[in-house]
């Protein structure tokens, strides 16, 4: 039997269900109209989720809930969970490289430029532990996803070029010793600063030292800068 459709009387309010559908669709329309903001919000939340839980442990439905979007929208923008993870990695490297470029190391004397670069690396990694966790997680995947990204490869070229330019100026002026590999120098800087964040909890527990106190951090920062400068000094 066909269902009878009741026609509202004149002056009678329309059924509420129409209004509910419209209000439910409104946020979706708002998100579609500002895709850049939506994607940035998804990347921000996904960064924390992947850093905390790794690729396997992070859940797209949780990211959708925290960003007030939907799984469908996340897949629309990023294609898959792995696509979102790779986009998070690319954004993480993009941020640090953009700030490095703004340091204007070329305007400084070689030793001052090297000290500035090491100090910046220490500060950035200390202030952005999620970056460290993302790198550690990606190393657990043996760099599988970074290898897929031409973007990350391109982002890191200026970083090595900056180290090389500072080093070569220092060698030319007699401040730094010759025959060093800029990538090795970059790796040494990264390793010293990385360890300060990645291993501070285990190191602190084993040796009963508080490594989060401002005085300890300042001392560690100065030590790392001095070690790197003395390593390259002529």
Q: Per residue in 58-113, pLDDT tens?
A: 999 999 999 999 999 999 999 999 999 999 999 999 999 999 999 999 999 999 99
CA angle 187, 193, 197 (to 5 degrees): 130
Beta bridge partners of 176: 233
Specify the DSSP class assigned to residue 64: H
Beta carbons within 10 angstroms of residue 170's beta carbon: 23
Q: Per residue in 136-154, pLDDT tens?
A: 999 999 999 999 999 999 9
Q: Per residue in 208-229, pLDDT tens?
A: 988 889 999 999 999 999 999 9
Pick the CATH number of 89-232 from 3.30.1050.10, 1.10.530.10, 1.10.357.10, 2.70.170.10: 1.10.357.10
* Orientation of helix 35-57 relative to helix 71-78, angle to 10°: 100
Sequence spans of domains, the chain:
89-232
pTM of the predicted model as reported, rounded to 2 decimal places: 0.82
pLDDT confidence of 33, banded at 50, 70, 90?
Answer: low
pLDDT confidence of 7, banded at 50, 70, 90?
Answer: very low
Between CA 155 and CA 181 the distance in angstroms is: 19
Between CA 224 and CA 227 the distance in angstroms is: 5
Residue pair 152/89 in contact by the 8 Å Cβ criterion:
yes
Read off the tokens for 57: 């442990």
Mean pLDDT of the chain: 88
| DSSP state string for 182-196 | HHHHHHHHHHHHHHH
Between CA 36 and CA 42 the distance in angstroms is: 10
């Amino acid at each position: 039997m066909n269902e009878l459709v009741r026609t509202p009387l004149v002056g009678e309010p329309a059924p509420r269900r129409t209004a509910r559908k419209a209000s439910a669709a409104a946020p979706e329309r708002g998100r579609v109209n500002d895709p850049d903001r939506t994607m940035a919000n998804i990347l921000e939340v996904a960064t924390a989720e992947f850093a905390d839980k790794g690729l396997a442990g992070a859940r797209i439905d949780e990211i959708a809930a925290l960003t007030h979007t939907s799984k469908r929208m996340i897949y629309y923008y990023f294609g898959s969970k792995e696509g979102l993870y790779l986009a998070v990695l690319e954004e993480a490297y993009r941020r640090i490289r953009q700030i490095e470029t703004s340091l204007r190391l070329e305007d400084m004397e070689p030793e001052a430029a090297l000290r500035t670069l090491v100090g910046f690396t220490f500060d950035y990694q200390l202030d952005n532990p999620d970056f460290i966790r993302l790198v550690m997680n990606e190393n657990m995947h043996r760099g599988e996803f970074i290898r897929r990204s031409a973007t990350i490869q391109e982002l890191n070229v200026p970083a090595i070029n900056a180290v090389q330019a500072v080093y070569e100026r220092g060698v030319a002026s007699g401040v730094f010793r010759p025959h060093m590999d800029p990538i090795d120098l970059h790796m040494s800087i990264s390793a010293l600063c990385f360890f300060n964040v990645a291993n501070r909890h285990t190191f602190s527990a084993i040796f009963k030292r508080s490594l989060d106190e401002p005085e300890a951090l300042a001392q560690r920062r100065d030590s790392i800068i001095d070690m790197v400068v003395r390593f390259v000094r002529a």
